[in-house]
Chains A and B, each alone.
Chain A
Amino acid sequence: EIVLTQSPATLSLSPGERATLSCRASQSISSYLAWYQQKPGQAPRLLIYDASNRATGIPARFSGSGSGTDFTLTISSLEPEDFAVYYCQQRRKWPLTFGGGTKVEIK
């Protein structure tokens, strides 16, 4: 099973600051990585697929990069609605796996 390790577990930032979230895979997953945002009491929402492609309707301040084993989600300037939990997920091999999540909280 491919293990995804997200870091940091919690990121404390202020609105307007840049957020950099990391996801590391235990083996190469090429670019088969997605990022999701989840707010309390809501279902997750797809942000980025195949490592760097923004999903429909996702603002340009969200960007993804990486390939192989190291991936990054960057939020260029945090808006109040961006404070949430972010998960990465791989679909390179079964079983599909998710990272443990990074909580972006208001400092």
Chain B
Amino acid sequence: EVQLVESGGGLVQPGGSVRLSCAASGFTFSSYAMSWVRQAPGKGLEWVSSFSSGAGGDSTYYADSVKGRFTISRDNSKNTLYLQMNSLRAEDTAVYYCAKNLPIDYWGQGTLVTVSS
């Protein structure tokens, strides 16, 4: 059974940093692209970042809204995906979902990040 369990969310001050983790199980983690998708309270889904691996090597992609502030990474030995979030703003407040594959076929339950003073 595929499981994606996010952690690391919480309350953070504007300008602060937080690192999200996503522990994956039930599939060969290293074989799949992984992504982060967020959802602000009462709003729709917004893609944040993806990490893919192919014949040409690893590739990372970011939404313009987070480029230069967020960094996606993965540790295949630990079956874990990360999202380092720096220079956080109020508009980054959202539930952050970890997601497997493209198209996304499994989602975690999400972790809430609240950016507020």
Contacts and interface: CB of A to CB of B under 8 A. Distances in A.
Interface in A30-83: 32, 34, 36, 38, 42-46, 49-50, 55
B46 interface: yes
Nearest to B46: A98
| Contact residues on B (Cβ < 8 Å of other chain), bracket | 20 to 34
B61 to A, nearest CB: 5
A96 B109 contact: no
A43 B107 contact: yes
A94 B61 contact: yes
A28 to B, nearest CB: 17
B103 interface: yes
Contacts of B64: 1, 95
Nearest to A56: B105
B3 to A, nearest CB: 12
Interface of B: 35, 44-47, 50, 61-64, 97, 102-110
